[in-house]
Amino acid sequence: MIIVETFKSIIYALPPLFFFVLSLRDDLSGMDFSFLVWIAIVFLVLLLSYSAAKWYLYTYQYEEGYLHIKKGLLFKKERSIKRERVQTVNVRTNILLKLLRVASVQVKTAGSGMESELTLTAVSIDETQKIKAHLEKHKPYKSQKTSSDETITETYEKEVNTYRISPWNLFLAGATSGRFMLLFSIIAAAFSQIYPYIPETYLRLVLEQVVPESGVNMIFLVIILLILLLISWILSTIVFMVRYANFTLTRQDDSLKISWGIIEQKEYNLDLNRVQAVSVQDGLLRQPFGLCSVSAEVAGGSSEKQDYITRLYPLLHFRELPKFLDDILPEYSMPADDNMVPLPSRSRKRYIIRSSIPVLLVILLLQMVPYGWISLLLLPPAFLLGVSRYNTGRTALGNKQLTLRFRNIHRYHVFILKNHIQSMQISTNPFQRRSDLSTVRVSVLSSPAGKDFKIADVDNEENKKIWQWFSRG
């Protein structure tokens, strides 16, 4: 691992070193080549020595209730972490670590920034389990009192519920993830750079085979785009399946254990006290098939965005969602459609206007260019999106839970417990006031800036009920 870290440092140093050598190319032209080789060898030895010293001076020790870290070559640094402040202990392995029979342990603590986490690299597999067992809080026993006030201690049987994604569902999750569009843009950009170097005879031969009538460049262009889309879809599906292979979710006591991956295996433990909201997303490609994914907004993440949003399950049939919540997250519940309050009919036109006006502005601007009239085809989808957003918008109140359903492009169900709501805001603009409507916005503790969920143009009577539900002691 010292050698691996050394080569990583060399790779990171290559770009600035390249530009430095490029700026001194005139001065180095007359220099002896063997001298440059010796400089490179000395640099490599110094870097290897630094990595070795840094490695051996990084020590850790865990005892009852604490984890102690010592590190530093020139500047010594010691740190002690209480077990109560540990948020998660994540274990990561990849092909190289597996060959060395070690793993990487990442300990994340309460707080924000880089100081909220530390990493122990190349720890033996047995040692990772000892560290996890020491730092993670479990309840090994439970006690009961008899009528004679005698305490009887019994072994606590941990309630364990496990969900594993099947290969077929994993394929569906990758095929309907929608990530192929990003990959398509990368492949299309690469193809645009390679296209000028493709011999014209090959292009003409392909064109004659696909399109009998020569000169039909538009059809050929469409065919190329479809091929690139297909390649992007296949590659993105394969990457998704490899990344989330063997996805397993386990509910045990007050924590969730999530593990996934083939090439790089990851194991993530999530304390349920950190879950601030549960979000169910029906992707545009998944909704027609009744499929959805489940995520959680997490408090106390690190500086990385993905630490605030945790994927709980990559693909689930919507009809299985109530059972999933009952097994994994019984604190939350899925209200029936009949128990959810829809938006009033007077809100429909406002949703349609909000979706159509930006598209109308784009259409007007495109009329100044040739074939700008084709942009009129954008108007029907914008109209349908506004209608769909109106039909989707709903709210539901439970004893301890607020449910919001809304649509941007995808459809979302958001479940928020009352004691996790940081703030609630009911706002009304002059146009809403005329129709007796207002917007409800709910904030939860997730990223440093917080996370907001809102539904616009809700009936004022319904907003009053939501406000009274939240403000009631």
pLDDT at 365: 87
Kindly tell me the burial class for residue 62, based on how many C-beta atoms sit within 10 Å of its own C-beta (0-12, 13-18, 19 or more): middle
Q: Beta strands 248-252 and 401-407: pairing type?
A: unpaired
Contact at 8 Å (CB) between 278 and 256?
no
Neighbour-count burial of 287, counting CB atoms closer than 10 A to its CB (0-12 exposed, 13-18 middle, 19+ buried): middle
Tokens read off for 140: 């090994």
Measured at the CA of 315, the angle between CA 314 and CA 318, to 5 degrees, comes to: 135
Pick from 132, 449, 121, 428: nearest CA to 299: 449
What pTM, to 2 d.p., does this model score? Answer: 0.72
Burial 235-268 (b: 16+ CB within 10 A, else e): bbbeebbebbeebebbbeeebbbbbbbeebbbbb
Q: Residue 333: which H helix or E strand, with range? A: none
- Between β-strands 77-82 and 86-94, what pairing exists: parallel, antiparallel or unpaired? unpaired
Residue 323: predicted pLDDT: 92
Q: What is the pLDDT of residue 210?
A: 52
pLDDT tens for the chain, 473 residues: list them: 888 888 888 888 777 777 766 666 666 566 666 777 787 888 888 888 888 888 888 888 887 778 888 888 778 888 888 877 777 788 888 888 888 888 888 887 765 454 556 788 888 888 888 888 787 754 443 334 434 344 333 333 455 788 999 899 889 888 887 765 665 566 666 666 665 656 666 656 655 555 555 445 556 667 777 777 788 788 888 888 888 888 999 998 788 888 888 888 888 888 888 889 999 999 888 888 889 999 998 886 554 544 556 889 999 999 999 999 999 999 999 998 888 999 999 999 999 999 999 989 988 888 888 777 888 888 999 999 999 999 999 999 988 999 999 998 899 999 999 999 999 999 999 989 999 999 999 999 876 667 899 999 999 999 999 999 998 75
Instruction: Name the residue among 318, 278, 324, 328 with its Cα closest to residue 298.
Output: 278
For residues 335 and 205, give the distance between their C-alpha atoms in angstroms, rounded to a whole number: 60
Q: Which of 71, 69, 67 is nearest to 84 (CA)?
A: 67
End-to-end CA distance of the chain: 56
Segment 170-224, tens digit of pLDDT: 898 888 877 656 655 666 666 666 656 566 666 566 555 555 554 455 566 677 7
**Dist CA 253 CA 83 (whole Å):** 18
> CATH 2.30.29: which residues of the chain?
59-135
Rounded CA-CA distance 281/296 in Å is 11
Contact 209, 257 (CB under 8 A): no
For 59-135, which CATH class? mainly beta
Q: What is the pLDDT of residue 23?
A: 66
Q: Phi and psi of 119, rounded to 5°? A: -130, 130
Q: Which of 373, 329, 355 is nearest to 457 (CA)?
A: 355
**Helix or strand run (H / E) with residue 18:** helix 2-23
Single out the residue of 413, 420, 419, 423 nearest to residue 455, CA to CA: 413
Collapse the DSSP code of 291 into the 3-class scheme (helix H, G, I; strand E, B; otherwise coil) and give the result.
Answer: strand
The pLDDT score that the predictor gives to residue 61 is: 86
Give φ, ψ of 277 to 5 degrees: -160, 150
Cα radius of gyration rounded to whole Å, the chain: 29
**Which among 27, 116, 50 is positioned nearest to 79, based on CA atoms?**
116
Nearest to 320 by CA among 340, 295, 297, 291: 291
pLDDT digits (tens, 9 = 90+) for 369-385: 877 788 888 899 999 99
Say how far apart CA 25 and CA 305 lie, in whole Å.
42
Please name every residue paired with 437 in a beta bridge, in sequence order, or none if there are none: 459
